[in-house]
Amino acid sequence: MNNDIEKVLISQEELNKRMDEMAEDLNKKYQGQEPIVIPVLNGAMIFASDMIKRLTFKLTIDPMKASSYAGASSTGKVKIVQDVKSDVNGRPVIFMEDIIDTGRTLKALSEEMHKRGAKSVEVVAMLDKPETRVVDFHADEYGFKAPNEFLVGYGLDYNGLYRNLPYIGVLKQEVYA
Ligand code: IMP
Ligand code: MG
C-alpha cells in the first residue's frame, strides 16, 4: 500500500464487482439507443474507462472538463473548461463522474445538457458523498456511498496526485496538514 494512505476504503475487487452490476443496469437500459457518454475529466477517467469497457450498446465518448475545486475545499463556481464536441440535441447523455460531493458540478452540467436539448440525462458516479451535498442533486446510479472524508485513488486526487492508485483510500492527515 502507498505510504501516504491511512486505509483502503474500497478495493479493486469491490470496485470491479460493483461496476459489473452498474454496467448490467446500463446495458439493459440503453440497448438500441446511441448515447453520448461524457466522462468528467480528470477525476472520472479511470472509473469511466473501466465502465465503458463493460458497455455493450453503441455509444460515443465525448469528455468534458469542469472546474470548481482548489485543493481540498470547493470554491462553489462551476466553469466548463473543456466542452463536448458532439451535438447533444436529441441524444441521451450519460455523465460519468468520480464522486458527487456538493453536487454543484453535476447539477450544473446536467442542466446545461437539458438546455441543449438532450433526450435524457443520467449521472453515473463511482461514489456518492451525501453528507456534504449543498444543492438538490442525486446521481441516478452510483457505486458506493462515501463517508465525509477526503478520498484519493481510482481517479480521485489530492493536488493532482494519487489518481493512479488501484483502490479508493483515505489520505493520512499529515499529508495535507
Ligand atoms: P461537487 O460535487 O461539485 O462538489 O464536486 C465533485 C468534485 O469534487 C469531484 O469530481 C472531485 O474532483 C472533487 N472531490 C470531492 N470530494 C473529493 C474527495 O474526497 N477526494 C478527491 N476529490 C474530491
Ligand atoms: Mg472531478
| Contact assessment for residue 83 and residue 113, using Cβ atoms and an 8 Å cutoff | no
| Mean pLDDT, rounded, for 52-70 | 91
Rg (CA), the chain: 16
Q: Which residues pair with 27 in a beta bridge?
A: none
Which residues form ligand 1's pocket by a CB distance below 6 Å? 43, 68-69, 74, 97-105, 150-152, 156-157
Nearest to 41 by CA among 15, 18, 61, 14: 61
Q: Using CA positions, which residue lies closest to atom 20 of ligand 1?
A: 151
For ligand 1, mutation pick of 79, 98, 159 (most atoms within 8 Å of CB): 98
Digit-coded pLDDT (tens) for 26-57 = 999 999 999 999 999 999 999 999 999 999 99
Of ligand 1's atoms, which has the minimum distance to the CA of residue 134? Answer: 4
Question: Is residue 70 over pLDDT 70?
Answer: no
C-alpha 22 – ligand 2 centre gap (Å): 20
pLDDT digits (tens, 9 = 90+) for 100-137: 999 999 999 999 999 999 999 999 999 999 999 999 99
Q: How far apart are CA 65 and CA 50, in angstroms?
A: 19
Output the average pLDDT for the chain. 94
CA 103/CA 89 separation, integer angstroms = 24
Ligand closest in space to the Cα of 170:
1
Residue 34: partners with Cβ closer than 8 Å, 6 or more residues away: 57, 58, 59, 60, 91, 92
pLDDT for 17-26, tens place per residue? 999 999 999 9
Cα separation, 52 vs 49, in Å, equals 5
> Which residue matches cell numbers 476504503?
9
